[in-house]
Structure 1
């Protein structure tokens, strides 16, 4: 699979990366055997970049990803994980608190963006992943989207302490690249003047359906050689499932307005005989700041569809009409 260099580093990322949130039982429970089999299929199609986080299944995804990758040469793939949440053993009796990870590991999550919190999170992740280094370390979910009116407090802790820890890990060679992974680009813009980050992982904000990050932010990243790894290219599913009632957009049921917009996008796809999956996967690469696109398909037919989407030929006339549509 084609690769692209990450920022100022010597890391070469495959155009498509695999997001291992499903290994933590995201939305549905799977077995460790299933996760190992899925990773082998992902490896076979040429993907060599894998991303995970302690949040996914309260450590379960990291354990399963580490186990699945163990048989492969460590120098043959790029691995990223995240800091900002510490996991503590859950001793409470009764039913697990409801969340998106059924039957997750028995740990409670606690936000901690401090120097010591980041150092501990890094070490814990290395243990769960079974590795002595992390290629890309991302500060996870800072911003008002997650923290609301506590954002300013958490941001100061992250910039004063957490960033210092990440920078030290990079200087020591334990981490090659550092950055932030979140769902909003405003906080990334806020962080740039305070830091020397190599990359950002941004979910759902530069897609066929949502280009809010294209407000000068992407251009600034390209100018400063900060790579963007884009997640959520299907905007929680609706760009893949199509404009129908019950589709999800931005982690919630899509509004009538969003469904209507996706309907127009699908009409343009049909007019030019373009697969909407291919269009959604290829759209982000139209900006030079984008280095890799994260996908999390685990079923073989979804993997095959995504692989075709990477290489499908899409005429310029299609993009011209999409540009007119998305700027209305």
Structure 2
């Protein structure tokens, strides 16, 4: 079933409606390699001219670079014509020694040091800094970013951030929403552990799910995703290509979960590729359309580093994926038998 960029879906219990596909901007922060300024601008222009009207970014992406690039483009357009989300939980600061500062893991990006802060003051400061980088006076949604154990060691630091969010950080988000400054707030999720333990600790409008629900992995179907349906919490799929491998295909350089793809994932991706080829479609089309069949999902936000990648994503969304493809995936054990698929049915 082809997907129209004009289609919108309501976020949880809010009045905010998001297009079913937006543009993720991590690549414009130079995630895997340098992106020329003209190429970045052309990528954003292609997204706009293709009909995309939802853009997601974050202070972390290129240590402020992605927000600068996105805001420099969007500030010239009518504010009522687009929707934008950014993230909170990190503030950016000048490093003590800019000459020796390590910008990693970004290939390029900017010279800004990151400090995590999920308290009331930290959320408000992160929000205000983001507005300045974006050169906008409003955003439509804010996302609590990277409150995962892997980012915060030792364990007591992690628990401290969770306590700060629950005790005061949430108040900042609630105040911003009540004042009409934002339409919704959510949390970014990278792991099933965070999906099931951290996200339920606070009341949210949506979750931005990066890895736990893709064409490669539906382990969260009866757990985190089911809980979202029960609580009327919407889901935005942040990495429909599983951070790369479903876009590039299996290869030695393929990325999965923002790291080198392990052999088991490579093998499964290769089988998915073969099945897509047998049905005369691109694997990318199936990867983009699959998560949108889940009733909790309101949008997907694939990233792009070049204008041709945006154009390809638009074409893949317009591709009709035959029902037999989904049936064959389930018959071959490549897809959870209960997973909703485009065109209806589980």
2:59 to 54, 62, 66: 54
CA contact (8 A) 1:133 1:174 kept: yes
What's the offset of the Cα at 1:237?
A: 1.3
CA contact (8 A) 2:93 2:114 kept: yes
Q: 2:292 is matched with which residue?
A: 285
Q: 1:186 is matched with which residue?
A: 193
> Structure 1: which 5+ residue stretches go unaligned?
none
Write the mapping of 1:68-217 to structure 2, written as runs, cut at 5 A: 68-148=73-153, 149=155, 150-191=157-198, 193-217=200-224
Q: 2:279 is matched with which residue?
A: 272
What's the offset of the Cα at 1:121?
A: 0.7
Distance in 1 of aligned mates of 2:86 and 2:260? 28
Deviating above 6 A after TM superposition, structure 1's stretches of 4 or more consecutive aligned residues are none
What's the offset of the Cα at 1:274?
A: 2.1
2:322 to 299, 306, 315: 315
What's the offset of the Cα at 1:181?
A: 1.1
What's the offset of the Cα at 1:215?
A: 2.7
2:11 aligned with 1:24: no
1:239 to 243, 246, 249: 246
Q: 1:326 is matched with which residue?
A: 335
> Structure 2: which 5+ residue stretches go unaligned?
338-346
CA separation of 1:63 and 1:271: change in aligned 2, threshold 3 A? same
CA contact (8 A) 1:230 1:292 kept: yes
* Larger RCO, structures 1/2 (Cα 8 Å, 6+ apart): 2
What's the offset of the Cα at 1:87?
A: 0.8
- The structure richer in strand per residue is 1
CA separation of 1:191 and 1:248: change in aligned 2, threshold 3 A? closer
Query: Matched residue of 2:220: which SS?
Result: coil
Q: 2:265 is matched with which residue?
A: 258
Distance in 2 of aligned mates of 1:257 and 1:217? 23
Write the mapping of 1:32-43 to structure 2, written as runs, cut at 5 A: 32-43=37-48
User: TM-score if structure 2 supplies the norm length?
Assistant: 0.89
Distance in 2 of aligned mates of 1:256 and 1:103? 29
CA contact (8 A) 2:190 2:211 kept: yes
Distance in 2 of aligned mates of 1:58 and 1:164? 26
Aligned pairs, number = 328
Deviations 1:47-105 (A, max 9, x none): 11101111111112111111110111111111100011111112315333151323422
User: TM-score if structure 1 supplies the norm length?
Assistant: 0.94
CA contact (8 A) 1:36 1:67 kept: no
Q: Which range is displaced more, 268-277 or 286-295?
A: 268-277
Query: Matched residue of 1:201: which SS?
Result: strand
